[in-house]
Amino acid sequence: MRRTRTLAGIGIATVALFALTACNSSDTAGGGLDFEVATDVSLDGSPTFDAMVERGGPIIGVKEDQPNLGYLDATTGERSGFDIEIARWIAASLGFEEGDITYEPIASANREQALVNGDIDYYVGTYSITDSRKEQINFAGPYFVTGQGFLVSSDSEMTEVNDVSDFNGMTVCSATGSTPIQNIKDNYPEINTQEYDIYSQCVEDLLSGKVDAVTTDAAILIGYAAQNPDELKVLDGLFTEERYGVGVPKGDTVLQEHINTLFTEGGDTWQEIFDATLGQSGIQVDQPAVDPVE
């Protein structure tokens, strides 16, 4: 055990690293994990599923600059991370293999619109369930819970955040359209903000000293700190509750229910996905119960 932090009801503890078993059997939907591809799937009353079948595969909105969550290795072309494996698990449950999937990188600010436009069938990418987003789309899940944290330079004297206002007078960077930037802008007017479409841009600014901190979900920040262990650190202190859902088109409660059932009746699969991805960074989080379809 190296250290334990328990805040906002979420226990974060370092745990032993898990071995990742790669599997590439032909009937797998996953690049890293082995998901059984369902056969004879029918989702009566889901226009989104009908479109996927007609097309021959799903178009899934994802992130690709978030290590351990949604990441694209530019050299190998491989996608990896907790959200990617969740996306593949869903695809397999709908009867699609890895080769049938089209991944579409969509930034935080553009997620609802991509679903409203029908550009993607579903979205899996650190997507917090919020009431205002629910006006435009439906969410399956939640499948993960985290909270807002802060990433700073290792040189910083700060070790923890007691209150977000600890950053008053400083410049904090986050992604446009995200819940953390909204929280700062709504509630902490004395904090200066810098926004980009993607968090990796904020991390670059932090590394070059242009901003004092990057704020977003702790689960995301841990991945960036692990990429730059000598330069960056995540501060203790977790704010807000971010419940990750799978975005589906508004009104497609059949698809929403299908994904909820998968999460609820999926046995050990959630844990296996977590252990092979986010769990590698040392955090320990339990699978949350899903929200009932409204």
Residue 216 contacts ligand GLU per CB under 6 A: yes
How do the residues of the chain divide into helix, strand and coil, expressed in percent and rounded to 5?
Answer: 30, 25, 40
Say whether residue 31 binds ligand GLU (CB under 6 A): no
Question: Buried b / exposed e across 50-77, counting CB within 10 Å, b at 16+?
Answer: eebbeeebbbbbbbbbbbbbbbbeeeee
**What is the separation of C-alpha 113 from the centre of its chain, rounded to a whole number of angstroms?**
18
Q: Does 64 bind ligand GLU (CB under 6 A)?
A: no
- What is the smallest separation between the CB atom of 104 and ligand GLU, expressed in angstroms? 15
Of residues 101 through 120, those in contact with ligand GLU by CB under 6 A are 108
Q: Which is nearer to ligand GLU, 35 or 244 (CB)?
A: 244
Q: Which is nearer to ligand GLU, 47 or 288 (CB)?
A: 288
Single out the residue of 283, 257, 274 nearest to residue 85, CA to CA.
274
Q: Which helix (H) or strand (E) holds 232?
A: strand 232-234
Q: Are 247 and 61 in contact (CB under 8 A)?
A: yes
Report the amino acid identity of residue 176: T
Environment class of residue 283 by beta-carbon count within 10 Å: exposed (0-12), middle (13-18) or buried (19+)?
buried
Report how far apart the first and last C-alpha atoms of the chain are (Å, whole number).
41
CB of 218 to ligand GLU, least distance (A): 10
68 part of the interface to ligand GLU, by CB under 6 A: no
Query: Of 96 and 274, which has the nearer Cβ to ligand GLU?
Result: 274
From 1-9, 32-40, 47-55, 171-179, span contacting ligand GLU (CB under 6 A): 171-179
Closer CB to ligand GLU, residue 58 or residue 61?
A: 61
Establish if 83 lies at the interface with ligand GLU (CB under 6 A): no
Does residue 61 bind ligand GLU (CB under 6 A)?
no
195 SS3 class? strand
Question: Rounded to the nearest whole angstrom, what is the least distance from the CB of residue 182 to ligand GLU in the complex?
Answer: 8
Shortest spacing between CB 126 and ligand GLU, in angstroms: 4
C-alpha–C-alpha distance, residues 50 and 48, integer Å: 5
Q: Is 247 in the site for ligand GLU (CB under 6 A)?
A: no
Contact map string, positions 122 to 141, toward ligand GLU, x by CB under 6 A: ---xxxx-------------
Contact of 49 with 58, CB cutoff 8 Å: no
How many residues bind ligand GLU (CB under 6 A)? The answer is 12
Q: Write out the residues near ligand GLU by the rule CB under 6 A.
A: 108, 125-128, 175, 178-180, 216-217, 242
